Chains A and B, each alone.
Chain A
Amino acid sequence: MGDQPLVTLKGITKSFGAVQSLRGVDLTLAPGEVLGLVGDNGAGKSTLMKVLAGAVQHDAGQITIDGREVRFASPADARRERIGIVYQDLALCDTLDVASNLFLGREPRKGPFIDRRAMHEKAAETLSDLHVRVKSTYQEIGHLSGGQRQAVAIARAVSFKPRVLILDEPTAALAVAEVRQVLAMIKDVAAQGVGVILITHRLQDLFEVCDRITVMYEGRSVEDEPVSDLDIERLVAMITRSGSEHTEEVA
């Protein structure tokens, strides 16, 4: 694990009209670390991750990457910092084919034109490497199963060779064997020094791959503990804020 944090978020706030969905979130991520981000529905996990991926612009607070303060005006800015994300809704285009989705926003070109042959060949290679089961890269995304779509979205995020990989419910639509594969992939990229943030409702997965867990509650980060200090009952209590010891801690 690195000494200097890869990503530091400090006091991030975000309002949508009258709704304040982030009320001050702190979070750190070290290189090669797998951080579990948990919290009840509506706690602000997905919004926070969209801020880190540049898809949503925060109102106040600081984002620091490698000690440099950054501000993302668009998803392209975050991509330049090599932050990869798998969105909960996958962010795919149903009427485009698999390869176009995989290379959306960075299609290989030959002169002014998309080099479709190269794009499809590279796509087939990437997907085969990640053991994604899709018949052809020419298939329309809308015709794939939920699991296949999720696998393509994960492959896209990984193929950017990100330094920070954000996975927002990456296993929701996957079969058991595919979940194992994603978890193995997470350990794999973390071992290569990538910082991974994992949001999931499958708490057993957190215990399997995470080093540390940050808990969010109503738009705030309320707990941050190494996974070795936790068991599943304590984690559930932290998420639901039911245990009396925790309510005291935050108050």
Chain B
Amino acid sequence: MSVQAPPAPTVLAKTPSRWERANKATLAMLGVTVALFVGFGIGADNFLSFDNMSNLATQVAITLIVAVAMTFVITTGQIDLSVGSTVAFVAVGTAEMLKAGWDSSIVIVAALAAGLFWGAVNGWLAAYQKIPPFIVTLATMSVIRGLAQLWTKGFSVPIDRRLYVAKIGEAKFLGFSALAWIALATVVIGGILLARTRFGNYVNGIGSQEESVRRAGVNTARIKMITLMLAGLAAGVAGLLTAARLGSGSANSGQGFELTVIAAVVLGGTDLFGGRGTMIGSIIGAVITGVIANGLTLLGVSPFLTPIVTGMVLLAAIWLNLRGRTLSELGAKLLGRT
């Protein structure tokens, strides 16, 4: 404050080196990814072929799209368990609307709106009614899938292959599927949103100390609601693409999908306690979960091994992610008892 000849500035705005800035958990997982690629590359001849890489990108795409949105949710210190059910609901809705003769363009808009709607329901209950998001989305997980089952009475609804929506599932550009390109676009947008905008800053700040961000004049409830709406929207995209790819809509699709997505995000180094989100990490996490499934299939082991390995990977990811804190602290945080 005092107006005197300023001495040499005591505080520097010097950018720290890349190594200092990097999320160490993410770096470790990058190492794991490389090891997995090398391991499967040696074990299965066709693993590193272009065709398989393109195939892998398609397999990872749907997980990755939702993982991008889930990164925001988890970084604010929330969780969304309902994304798998939303995928099923939107997949069923897409198939039913097409069956009813709606135009593909309207169906696409309606499918995304349905995803956004469920996200808004979760967001309003969690952010404005202050019910812990773990509880809210556990409940809506059951409600949303139940509605999808009630709608279809449990039958799978086929989609006419000649329709535009169905063609999205098969389209390819430059050797990669449309799904992979959509996932890439989602990651880029999500990455910019998280790292470059005020919204991204507040998402990190809320996960760290929400009250501090609120006292800085930010409407934190709105930001938290938006993150859950993004998760709903992403699940809507995922549901639409699932229906397009499978050529049918089933109320049983996306079972356990939320766990795969959460595993991908957490595996990538995004802090489960909030405050530290990394989009690159979520890509790495999604690739790891995809590579494990893809590689095990190529090695010719029993397909039933995949969920076992994925579950164990999730456990390992959470264990690494706790960083010295206990599981009961995490439980208290997720149930809003902190």
Contact = CB atoms under 8 A, between A and B. Distances in A.
Nearest to A142: B208
A127 B10 contact: yes
A99 interface: yes
A137 B212 contact: no
A206 B244 CA distance: 71
Nearest to B8: A128
B2 A184 contact: yes
Contact of A137 (B6, B13, B208, B213): B13
Interface string A125-169: 101111111111110001000000000000000100000000000
A95 interface: yes
Interface residues of A, number: 48
Considering residues B16, B197, B198, B217, which has the most beta carbons from chain A within 10 angstroms of its beta carbon? B217
B1 A189 contact: yes
A79 interface: yes
Contacts of B10: 127-128, 131-134
A130 B1 CA distance: 6
B13 to A, nearest CB: 4
B215 A124 contact: no
B1 A185 contact: yes
B218 interface: yes
B23 to A, nearest CB: 11
B201 interface: yes
B275 interface: yes
Interface in B5-41: 6, 9-16, 21
A95 B276 contact: yes
A87 B214 CA distance: 13
A121 B13 contact: yes
B52 interface: no
Contacts of A1: none
B217 A114 contact: no
Interface in A187-228: 188-189
Contact of A95 (B16, B198, B204, B218): B204
Considering residues A129, A134, A185, which has the most beta carbons from chain B within 10 angstroms of its beta carbon? A129
Contacts of B1: 129-130, 158, 185, 188-189
B207 interface: yes
A76 interface: yes
A174 interface: no
Contacts of A133: 10-11
B174 interface: no
B205 A114 contact: no
B142 interface: no
Given A113-B197, A124-B9, A128-B6, A138 B205 contact: no
Given A75-B217, A93-B205, A136-B11, A113 B211 contact: no
B14 A136 contact: yes
A219 B196 CA distance: 44
Given A112-B197, A137-B12, A93 B213 contact: yes
B310 to A, nearest CB: 29
A100 B202 CA distance: 10
Nearest to B271: A95
B12 A124 contact: yes
Interface stretch (A9-17, A31-39, A102-110, A242-250): A102-110
Contacts of B208: 93-96, 142
B13 A105 contact: no
A96 B215 contact: no
Contacts of A90: 212
A142 B255 CA distance: 39
B218 A96 contact: no
A133 B1 CA distance: 15
Given A94-B275, A113-B196, A128 B9 contact: yes
Contacts of A75: 214-217
Contacts of B216: 75, 91, 104-105
Interface of A: 53, 55, 74-76, 79, 87, 90-96, 99-100, 104-107, 109, 112-114, 117, 120-121, 123-125, 127-138, 142, 158, 184-185, 188-189
